[in-house]
Every structure is written in structure tokens, then in C-alpha cells.
Amino acid sequence: MIYEIRTYDCIPGGVGELIDGIGEKYEHRARYSEVAGFWHTDIGPLHQVVHIWPYESLDDRLRVRGEAAKDVNWPPDVSHLVVGMRSEICLPAPFCPETPKGDLGPVYEMRTYTLKPGSFPEVAKRWESAIEERLKLSPLAFAGVTEHGGLNKFVHIWPYKSLDHRAEVRAKAQATGVWPPRGGRQFSLRQESKILLPAPFSPLR
């Protein structure tokens, strides 16, 4: 399984119109494959939408996208709202959950750690030793490392009921010593975080 993370930078005020436009046509795209999650930023880089698409393989991605491109109803005409697009292919981490659906949020934190080259196997091992206890506090929606696009990026997405819930969970994890995994920070070169809110048609809400 691979996951494509697509990030669109929109013109100021364009996110709502883009989400409406995609939402009106999404049922046609879903005939070929479903999106795992579709969000827009609320805190962090503004005027962004982030969507994650699961595929069986790179060949499956090419096949699905090729078939969808032949559909007269897809893609919607929203290009005038977009000033930049990025695509990154991620491989799931060993502890990445199966693609969940449902009301896990509505607040999602997407954390991206740029790691020292070659260090992800050690980071994954440390996470595996601690993740079971961390998941008792709140769920994990996605975890993976980039294979194509910006390299050495470890992406993980955490749902919370609110920003207050996020703060409570993180404080409790640190206070009890459950999280973060010991020694993991030595492998990070840079860490970024953004708060995402789901689109109405997102399977993850």
C-alpha cells in the first residue's frame, strides 16, 4: 500500500470555493478510488488543502488516475483557485493503522518531521515500542515516510475532539512518560505542525 499526500496552496479566500467544487464532483472520483481524508488548514500555513489517497501500488495509482481523467465529470474546474500543488508518495509505517473512517476529529494535527537520512528504521523501532501506550490516550489516523517527493519526511496525523483535547492529551502523555519515544528527537532535523479541519465529504471527520 502507498499513500499520496497532495497539498494545494490556494488564493486567499479560495479554500471554501475549492472544497465546494470538489465536493460537488467527488462522487464521480470515488467510483475509481476513495480519498482517505480531505482537510483544510486552520492553524499553520494558511489557505491550504491536504488530501490523502491510498493506492495498492504506483502502478495502481497510474491506472486509477488515468481512468478518472477520462471521466467528463472529473476533475472539477478549480484551477483558478490554486497557486501551487505538491505531491508526495508515502510508505506506511509498520504501526500505521488501516485507513480509518468516521468521526475521529474534528481537529486533526498533521506533524511532519524531516529526519536525518537513513534514520527512519530506528525512529520506527522506538515508536513501535511506545505506540501502544500512546494510543490509549488518543488514536492515530496515519503514519508514513516519504518515498517520492520531499525525502526523509515522517508524517503522522492525530485526530482530537478539540484544541483543548489535544493540549490535555499531549500534557498527559508527557507527564506519564508515555510519549514521546525516548531518544527519538536526536534523529529530527526539522519539525512542523499544522491543524487541519475536514471537508464535508472527507471519510475522516
pLDDT tens for residues 27-59?
999 999 999 999 999 999 999 999 999 999 999
**Predicted pLDDT of residue 178:** 84
**Taking Cα atoms as reference points, which of 141, 151, 89 lies closest to residue 120?**
151
- Strands (E) across 20-167 are located at 37-43, 48-55, 82-92, 107-115, 142-148, 153-160
CATH annotation of 2-198: 3.30.70.100
- Grid cell at residue 47: 489557505
Q: What is the pLDDT of residue 152?
A: 98
**Which is more confidently placed, 185 or 196?**
196
113-164 pLDDT tens trace: 999 999 999 999 999 999 999 999 999 999 999 999 999 999 999 999 999 9
93, pLDDT greater than 90: yes
Mean pLDDT estimate for the chain? 97
Domain ranges of the chain: 2-198
What pLDDT shows up at residue 184?
Answer: 78
- pTM attached to this predicted model: 0.96
Burial of 12 (0-12, 13-18, 19+ CB in 10 A): exposed
State the cell numbers at 16.
471554501
Confidence of residue 199 (pLDDT cuts 50, 70, 90): very high
Q: How confident is the model at residue 99 (pLDDT cuts 50, 70, 90)?
A: confident
